[in-house]
Structure 1
Amino acid sequence: MGVTREGYRIVGPDAVEVLEHCGVERPVARLVELAARTPDGLTVVVDSANGVLDGPLGAAGIPVLRADPPVPVDGGAPAEVLAELGRSRPGALTALPAGGWTMSGREEEIAAADRASAPVERRLVREGRMLAGGAGAGPLVALTFDDGPDPEFTPRVLDVLHRHDAPAAFFCIGLNALAHPGVVRRIADAGQTLGNHTWSHAYLPDLGPVGLARQLDRTRDVLADACGDDRPIRWLRPPYGGRSPELLRAVDALGLTTALWDVDAKDWSRPGPDVIAERVLGQVRPGSVILMHDAGGDRSQTVAALPAVITGLRARGYRIVGLDALLAVT
């Protein structure tokens, strides 16, 4: 299973299928259908540039294998390459646990890369090219939402923000923006910030310069097309917060400002609206960047928790501002 400039590519034992300009629900539904018709079951092979696929596939009960570097071609491995690996070398692939995440098994490697990035991060923060959160910028905080746009949950999040007159940033996955341009336009028309969250939720340190450019440029172009103008997309959030010194320098050279976070609602785990709100309010501090999600699964609990998050922050004396405003005072 691979991603392309127009959508998703399924390479099976008997046929190749291309599904274009659609949300992830359509390829997942198609794979569920194929699995039901396959006597011995179906296993899907992805790589670390295909982070939109493994969660929904796992939730649908379809086993997922991940191909690791140096397998991915710069920007993501073609579906044909992944299918051949699944047939010929399944033992060389990593089985993703149900309910796990795309990078399962690589936690130590990722943590080491994050630690090595610290000197570059400090420089970028000083130069106003990175926002890490929690920098003590007075009683100011920023709300951010990842993985959209989603045709159901993003508009509901926007409705809550409008009722409470609260700004936020939406870090969009290019494939989702391609499938739902009207939702992107609504984010922009509401005066909210649009950010780049890569084309396919890729772990960016695995990619070279060509792959990085493809992931970021395609997403930038789709967001601009959806808005009907060439407004600059200044902000990047690397999926999983994945970074390396080389990646951060490359992103800076592209003129993008990296937004990390220091408050993680972990709303993707769906612990209940009250728990989501308590997590945010329990972690927040001056200058915090709060991470939530408006897509990637059922986000009804996030929508339900958001009013309590906003009113709770304000009751504690915090003012909710946009990323640009927060960066200006850090």
Structure 2
Amino acid sequence: MDDPLPPPTSPEQLPATRPFKGRGAASNPEGRFESIRHQAEDDGWQSALLDEDAPRPPTCVTEERASSVISRNDSPDIAFSQAINPYRGCEHGCIYCFARPSHSYLNLSPGLDFETRLRAKGNFAEVLRAELAKPGYAVSPINIGSNTDPYQPVEKRWRLTRAALELLAECRHPCTIVTKNALVERDLDILVPMARERLVQVFFSVNSLDNHLAAKLEPRASAPHRRIKAIRTLAAAGVPVGVLVAPVIPALNDKDMEAVMAQAADAGARCAGYTTLRLPYELKALFREWLALHAPQRAEHVMSLVRQMNGGRDYDSDFATRMRGQGVFADLLRRRFEVACRKHGFGRARELVLDTSRFVPPRKASPQGELF
């Protein structure tokens, strides 16, 4: 069902002349599949709507019924072959999120819609149970949060991620979690027993230690220092934790790579990984708009380095280079990362081997319940 909230401000009503507090995108461009385009023009009559008291787009969550929840991939540059995502869209509002263009499949905008018009898969755990119970199911670690963050703020109410973890723990299925929200601490009662059986590993994405920058890049994610604290909490409880410096944006947050890894190591992280900025489809224009609003003086320099790392384009989808880039600047990042890994004794992010031998298929749900 829909939350009793008004829909977000329509894209054609407000030109992107200023950012919205608490949101990453400043506009709502049409998705790439739309046949109609709207062009906003400020004729002076809307100036009253552009002050600090202008209404801000609220978050609206719609429940949907999923037919399947496990997605599979054979990409050579991705460490997992199975993933689940309880939500479509993400309230964290990270402007760099490579998943933004996926909202176009819902006839919604990759801009403000992606972070304000969310979909929650209400039958998530039920469908996951049915898929894990299939006779031909082959066990391999499932990643939770490959597309959108499983611990984004709406998880507090919907608890879909927790329901999935409860099921995975019940049938001893290994999983990895990627998040940038300290809400994961809530589920320590599930994660700690799973960790004892080598069934879980948690990765925190931390790409900067600058709170002011993070508040603009990823406005509704936990602050960087809070994520470091969460790493310490999970590590102290015995849950294996890794840090992902992702994405590294040249001339914007790349200076923090070593500092992030140092603080994560001190907090108890065991391994590390990094990726460079990826700008597929509509994300190119959204990120350029963000730069114009938040970092106008260095916008051209940032994009010049991005193009250098992508063979002269804003984005290169080649599996061999899309995660790490190419060229001189990309090589420098790689060397810096390797030096920091050696200094702090980090293993690579995919080195921990989770145990797939303990899996017990769950029983299919029965309207008659269970006697034993």
| Range of TM-score over shorter length | 0.3 to 0.5
Larger radius of gyration: 2
| TM-score under structure 1 length normalisation | 0.32
Q: Highest relative contact order (Cα 8 Å, sep 6+), 1 or 2?
A: 1
Structure whose residues are more often helix by fraction? 1
